[in-house]
Amino acid sequence: MPLPPAAGIGFKPQHARALDAPGAVSWLEIHAENYMVDGGPRLALLAEMSQRFAMSAHGVGLSIGGEDPLDPDHLARLRGLLDWLNPARFSEHLAWSSHGGAYLNDLLPLPCNTATLDRVCAHIDEVQQYLGRQMLLENPTSYMVFDDSTMSETDFLARIGRRTGCGMLLDIENVFLSAQNLGFAPERYLDAYPLDMVGEIHLAGHAPGDDVLIDTHSAPVTDPVWALYARVLDRIGPTPTLIEWDADVPDFATLQAEAARAHALLTRRVPA
């Protein structure tokens, strides 16, 4: 089932029955690692949802930017899930999360330079060939600047897309947080971003902070992020948009209201 250019939410099992009246929610996204299991009630519920909603699968554990080879067991389990579910989209992060056989349970940043570019592209080529499908690559949240970066993050992402044929998952919350943390204008980042490669957009909220804003997915989308989202839609038109809320998960009515706000922008914006 293709992903519509409409609003979706991250699927949480506690909301399954509420989705009988989905309102503005048109599609669902799962974290792939939560469903890389052999049968059981979790997969049975996911199968039921996939009959009613278009699905996207989002990975957090491939360690695309890591120096180690990709984990063949993780790849095999991921392919098993994707072959079974056949989601409309699969995405992963521009980050690393494992080293020397240890999984660090975080999405850690990378310098944007030629060596990293070659490594990331080789890993994406391996993933797409093994899975037999295109992947989308999500821009990171940044809390620091690497001294050995030799190109901008937007140029880095564009080069990856051109070399590998992968698409982009534009996380506008990540852009906003990085801009606040590092002191640049998010509008300038988005103007330089390869918007023609975007297959999906993510919106989320964050915990308040004084000096550094942390990407927590634990609150409503803020007004500045909504404004950046509207600006992007003015450029590229309606695009599948996910409301991410993974911590302190609220009731379904709250998520539905966030999806309705995205829906209102999706239905009134046209490309410039």
Give me the residue spans of the domains in the chain.
7-268
pLDDT at res. 61: 87
pLDDT at res. 139: 96
pLDDT at res. 108: 65
pTM of the predicted model as reported, rounded to 2 decimal places: 0.93
Beta carbons within 8 Å of 139's beta carbon, 6+ residues apart: 94, 153, 157, 168, 169, 170, 171, 174, 175, 193
pLDDT at res. 103: 53
pLDDT at res. 151: 94
Handedness of CA 14, 1, 266, 95 (dihedral sign): positive
- Consecutive 10-residue averages of pLDDT for the chain (272 residues): 95 96 97 93 96 96 90 96 98 74 61 94 98 97 83 97 98 95 95 98 84 78 97 96 94 97 86 54
DSSP code string of 61-113: -S-TT-SSPP-HHHHHHHHHHHHHH--SEEEEESSEEEETTEEEEEEE----S
**Which overall architecture, per CATH, does domain 7-268 show?**
Alpha-Beta Barrel (3.20)
pLDDT at res. 104: 45
Looking at residue 141, what DSSP letter applies? P
